[in-house]
Structure 1
Amino acid sequence: MFKPFENLPENSKIWIYQSNRKFSEAEMTEIENELKAFLENWTAHGTGLEASYLLKYNRFIIIAVNQEVQQATGCSIDSSVAFIQSLELKYKVDLLDKMNVTFKNGEHIAHKSLLDFKKMAKEKAVTANTIVFNNLVNTIEEFNENWEVPAGESWHGRFF
Structure 2
Amino acid sequence: MKKFKDLPGHSRVWIYQSNRVLSNDEISTIESRGRSFIENWSAHGADLNGALEVIYKQFIVLALDEQVASATGCSIDKSVHFFQQLGNDFNVDLFNRLLIAYRVDDSIELLPMSDFQDQLANGKFTENTQVFNNLVTTLDEFRNQWEVAVKDSWHKQLLPTNV
- For Structure 1 versus Structure 2, the TM-score category normalised by the shorter chain is over 0.9
Coordinate RMSD, CA, aligned: 0.9
Aligned match of 1:10 = 9
Q: Secondary structure at the match of 2:51?
A: strand
Aligned match of 1:86 = 85
For the residues of structure 1 that align with 2:23 and 2:48, how far apart are their CA atoms? 29
Deviations 1:84-109 (A, max 9, x none): 00011011111012111101011110
Aligned-pair identity in percent equals: 41
Match runs of 1:112-151 below 5 Å: 112-151=111-150
Q: Any conservation in 1 of the 2:34–2:52 contact (CA below 8 Å)?
A: yes
Q: Secondary structure at the match of 2:25?
A: helix
One-letter code aligned to 2:20: R
For the residues of structure 2 that align with 1:100 and 1:15, how far apart are their CA atoms? 16
Residue 5 of structure 1: CA displacement?
Answer: 1.7
Q: Secondary structure at the match of 1:112?
A: strand
**Which runs of at least 4 in structure 1 moved beyond 3 Å after TM superposition?**
none
Aligned match of 1:53 = 52
Q: Secondary structure at the match of 1:14?
A: strand
For the residues of structure 1 that align with 2:19 and 2:120, how far apart are their CA atoms? 20
Aligned match of 1:62 = 61
Residue 4 of structure 1: CA displacement?
Answer: 2.3
Q: Any conservation in 1 of the 2:2–2:51 contact (CA below 8 Å)?
A: yes
Deviations 1:83-138 (A, max 9, x none): 00001101111101211110101111001111111111112221111110001100
For the residues of structure 1 that align with 2:108 and 2:14, how far apart are their CA atoms? 20
Structure 1 unaligned blocks of 5 or more: none
Q: Any conservation in 1 of the 2:3–2:53 contact (CA below 8 Å)?
A: no
Aligned match of 1:40 = 39
Q: Secondary structure at the match of 2:5?
A: helix
Deviations 1:20-44 (A, max 9, x none): 1000111111111011110111010
Q: Secondary structure at the match of 1:55?
A: strand
- Is 1:158–2:160 an aligned residue pair? no
One-letter code aligned to 2:85: S
Q: How many residues align?
A: 159
Q: Secondary structure at the match of 2:100?
A: strand
Deviations 1:47-96 (A, max 9, x none): 11000012110000110010000000000000000000001101111101
Aligned match of 2:26 = 27
